[in-house]
Amino acid sequence: MPTNDFVQFATAGGANVESQAAYLADSARTAGNQPGVASSSLNNKALRQANYVASNLAQMISDFTTTDVLDDTVTAKFLSQLKAAVQKLAPVVTVYTSGSGTHNLNYYFFCASANATVGATYTNNSITFTVVATIAAGTLLQASGSGAPSASGTLTKVTGTGDATITFYAFRAPLYLEVEMVGGGGGGGGVSTGAGNGGNGGATTFGTSLLSAGGGNGGTTGGNGGLANSSSIGAGATGIAVSGSAGGAGASNTGSASGGIGGSSAYGGAGRGGAFNGGGSDAATNSGSGGGGGANTGTSPGGGGASGGFVKAVIPSPTGSYAYTVGTGGSVGTGADNGGAGAAGRIQVKAIFN
């Protein structure tokens, strides 16, 4: 348990302390001690009131920061610890629009004074931390890492520009993460002559078996719209997970045809279906919506691709790091007139500190 040096004074039974009523009535309380013999019970009352608040404030700081609050007169340290306990901190938003990788948590380090440039790396507690925002003679350093640092200590530079070592007195980790994501949309189908089905969109995932937004299936040649796959939220997170929208079916009429419209995700942006010897349009970038189906007069049109599923979830008390994959958009279905491409998904991670 962290140490708090600021212990309470004159709290034992029978302590030589004025009663509250006597303290309020004592003229020396407002005038202060005058030359002569001072009242010990009055002084003890004033000392105890100030010490009572100081002791509990120090205990709150120690509890919130899990650091030792010491009577060592290091002003910069105490101020850093106080700020770490009560300062409002802005959320940190990270967006991923392609590929796969690892999402490391963001941490705020409270320092006396530090210089560090974005991209520089430092180590502490056998963890490497990457500076997220440049600071110059600053007291609040933001850096990401795959695990938590020590409660207090030293950051030692490995690469980049900044102080060789940075002393920090406390840190703050996110209280929870808000994750919003969509899977990749399916591609629109091409028309029947030399045609091909639209490609399936890929699933967007965050964490191992934690969050998954299913990708949408591609529309088929012959006019059938793609079907949506399910989304899910695993143990350790709460929120909503919904399947995407199915792609629209193509329509074939005498002397004319129209491709199916793509399924629309929670972000909109579905591709439109082609008409009269026209290809389907692509879905909007990173919307996770489906591409439109192609159409060719007098022949069987392509169906629209389905959209990716949608997940919005909260991860309480996050720890460590999270593997992620952004679902790819489905490829176009080819033919006399091609379908439109499905859109890739996206992930937004918001780290909340207060």
Same domain as 208, residue 167: no
**Considering the entire predicted model, what is its pTM?**
0.91
Same domain as 189, residue 147: no
Same domain as 215, residue 310: yes
- What phi, psi does 335 have (nearest 5°)? 160, -160
Please tell me the predicted confidence (pLDDT) of residue 193. 67
Same domain as 199, residue 145: no
Residues in the chain predicted with pLDDT less than 70, given as ranges, are: 193-194, 254-255, 297-298
DSSP-derived pairing of the beta strands 256-258 and 251-253: antiparallel
Q: How far apart are the first and last CA of the chain?
A: 24
Residue 98 domain flag: no
Same domain as 350, residue 262: yes
Same domain as 184, residue 219: yes
Same domain as 215, residue 160: no
Residue 82 domain flag: no
CA distance linking residue 273 with residue 275, whole number of Å = 7
pLDDT in tens, 89-135: 999 999 999 999 999 999 999 999 999 999 999 999 999 999 999 99
Please tell me the predicted confidence (pLDDT) of residue 1. 84
Please tell me the predicted confidence (pLDDT) of residue 237. 98
CA distance linking residue 45 with residue 34, whole number of Å = 17
Residue 85 domain flag: no
Please tell me the predicted confidence (pLDDT) of residue 295. 87
Could you tell me the CA-to-CA distances from 288 to 305, 310, 314, 328, 329 in Å, in that order?
A: 10, 9, 21, 9, 7
CA distance linking residue 336 with residue 167, whole number of Å = 66
Q: How many domains in the chain?
A: 3
CA distance linking residue 141 with residue 162, whole number of Å = 12
